[in-house]
Amino acid sequence: MDLPKLAIAALGGTVSMQASHAGEGVIPTVSGETLLQSLPELSTLARINVETLGLLPSASLDFEFLLSVLHWANEQISQGAVGVVITQGTDTLEETATFFDYLWNHNEPLVVTGAMRSAAQAGADGPANLLDACRVALAENSRHRGVQVVMNGQIHAANAVRKIDSLALQAFASPVSGPVGLLIENTVRYLRPPAQRRVLPMPQRCAKVALLEASLSADTLLLENIVDLGYDGLVIAGFGAGHVSGQWAAVIESITQKIPVIVATRTGSGSTAQCSYGFIGGEMDLIRKGAAMAGCLCPRKARILLWLLIGCQRQGDLARYLKDE
């Protein structure tokens, strides 16, 4: 029987990390090809094309590089792959998954995974996560679901997943909605039907979008200079349901005249409000002053959406994209 084609790209991260000498910290050195050597059973499930596209800590990934990864993944699908798996560092995985999801224009699944423990650590989770990710990418019921994150036996939708712990094995969660699926005895089980997807055109230019977090008694110096510094858009990680101080609110009003501003919640879970709080700096005031509310989209993901919308000159569609978040 002809096995399905599966494409795997390694970008680096803890899953690819080891120490070259005892006592030194781990760095990304393990290629995708070597990662697969620990998973001999994969060759009974699929014909694999594995490539090492990078060996980077995920803090050093950037949008330009991710666009080249996306180009590679698109090619794999046009050459007959039934799915694509990307291994990378977990630190920015919630952002890269969102980035890919807004641009992934295929019914075939793209699955992102990584590891919390490096290869030499006892109980390393990389091989199990990679095998799970491959099972998800190969599963028929994963089609039409866009980009998903597979970690620790759970499947998460790209727009919902967040890294919620710095070092724990259970480091990923979808705080509002929970995981969309689970791996149960090697079977891919979904808990919800696929959600409707909206794919953006490829960005034509590299926008500059700032992300500022509101904090108690913060001054307005950075905020006041955002436009002069050349930023094309601004995301604010606001207090609670999307709030800022009265001082910040006044500056935000002048910024929204010039560039789009999104206000998200810095709480780590939940939605921004629309019509609950009437104080200066509350969400009703900020909406009146021209800001858009992010809904359940976290500040980092909101920044990705704004970067992509500005990059393809669709910032006018921002409200429509945020409506269902």
90 known ligand binder: yes
Q: Which is nearer to ligand ASP, 129 or 159 (CB)?
A: 129
Catalytic residue among 14, 87, 92, 265: 14
Residue 148 binds ligand ASP, judged by CB under 6 A:
no
Does residue 272 touch ligand ASP according to CB under 6 A?
no
Would you count residue 89 as binding ligand ASP (CB under 6 A)? yes
Question: Is 91 annotated as ligand-binding?
Answer: yes
13 binds ligand ASP (CB under 6 A): yes
Build a one-symbol-per-residue string for 171-210: x at contacts with ligand ASP by CB under 6 A, - elsewhere. Answer: ----------------------------------------
- The smaller minimum CB distance to ligand ASP, of residues 61 and 249, is found at 61
User: Distance (Å, rounded) from C-alpha 70 to C-alpha 74?
Assistant: 6
Regarding 94 and contact with ligand ASP (CB under 6 A), the answer is no
Whether 43 has a binding-site annotation, put simply, is no
Judged by beta carbon, residue 57 or residue 299, the one nearer ligand ASP is 57
Known catalytic residue: 272? no
**Does 90 participate in binding ligand ASP (rule CB under 6 A)?**
yes
Interface residue with ligand ASP, options 52, 58, 142, 245 (CB under 6 A): 58
Q: Is residue 142 at the binding interface for ligand ASP, with CB under 6 A as the rule?
A: no
Q: Which of 83, 114, 282, 299 binds ligand ASP (CB under 6 A)?
A: 114
Give the catalytic positions in this structure.
Answer: 14
Interface ranges with ligand ASP (CB under 6 A)? 13-14, 57-58, 89-91, 114, 116
Tell me the binding residues for substrate. Answer: 58, 90-91
